[in-house]
Chain A
Amino acid sequence: MLRVWFGNRDNVIYNTSVYFRNRYKDSWITDEFARAAIKDIDRSEVLDANTIQSPVLGQIPPDKLSGGVKALILMKNEPGKTFNASNCGDNCAKWILKLGKEKSFTIALYHIMDFGKEDFEIRILNDRKLIVHNMREFLDEADKYLKENMQ
């Protein structure tokens, strides 16, 4: 299940782009999830582990992918770590929910991400017993805990 922590917390990897640049593995770039997310979000094609064809930037290395895609790839491949998902735009939300159906991991949010109109299950770690099921419930918790933790 996807778990969310709102606001500052110890051990969050805040600058996911720097972490990605230093830790990514070739296999992370060429797997099915990464190929599909890169195509959807960055409109780019993975040619091999070191080369991505971008319609705007030409051929780029993986560390030039968007911040959102890099954060998603980290969430998939290092689920034991907590990454800053505020580096992800709303166009990454469906991918985060998809990962949450496949494995348990925690993200930190410093803003209100729009997870869309469909129902979902997200555990709010600021209130360990609470699971929210839609954006209305999610918004209430986000508003409360972001105000509390971001002052």
Chain B
Amino acid sequence: MVGRVSIKISNQRNSYKFTLNRNITILRGDSGTGKTTLYDMIRDYNNMGKESGVKISGGNIVTLEGKNWEDELDKLSNTVVVIDEGSKFVFSKEFASKVKDCDNYFLIITRSYLSQLPYSVDEIYRIKGNGKNKEFERKHHNK
């Protein structure tokens, strides 16, 4: 993938709009803001497509988790890969190497210190909005 990717994901109760500017984007922030709800909606869409009731526009987007993450990741190209905070493999050198060598974008939900990954402080976001409509907001504002 190259350049900006704008994604919209919605169901009856939640609508998320966000733009990814680089290959690694970090999503963090307070608990209870809807990070895992976003992840679950994408996973439902991956498993069941439109039958899930989730609507996605803007590009291919998938969730990545579990023991077979390396095999799953090897099959992906030009895709936004979303990883939730329970996935410990994001710390590994193997993951950092695969991120470097592929053309996917990564949206990683984590507060953890990821020393192996070259992400920009400008690409750390939190979710803004308490009602149905939610957007990403930069965590560190440029002055």
Q: Which residues of A contact B (CB under 8 A)?
A: 8, 14-18, 41-43, 55-58, 66-69, 86-92, 110-112, 146-147, 150-151
Contacts and interface: CB of A to CB of B under 8 A. Distances in A.
B31 A91 contact: yes
Nearest to A19: B86
Nearest to A7: B113
Looking at B34, B111, B131, which has the most chain A CB atoms within 10 Å of its CB? B111
A55 B129 CA distance: 13
Contacts of B31: 41-42, 66-69, 87-89, 91-92
A15 B89 CA distance: 12
A68 B86 contact: no
Range class of the B interface residue count:
20 to 34
Contacts of B119: none
B3 interface: no
For the complex, would chain B's binding face be called helix, strand, loop or mixed by DSSP majority? loop
A23 to B, nearest CB: 15
B37 A89 contact: no
27 contacts: A18-B86, A41-B30, A41-B32, A42-B32, A56-B37, A57-B13, A57-B37, A58-B13, A66-B31, A67-B35, A68-B31, A69-B31, A86-B111, A87-B31, A87-B85, A89-B28, A89-B31, A89-B111, A91-B31, A110-B113, A111-B111, A146-B113, A150-B91, A150-B112, A150-B114, A150-B115, A151-B115
B32 A91 contact: yes
Given A56-B130, A68-B32, A110 B115 contact: no
B77 interface: no
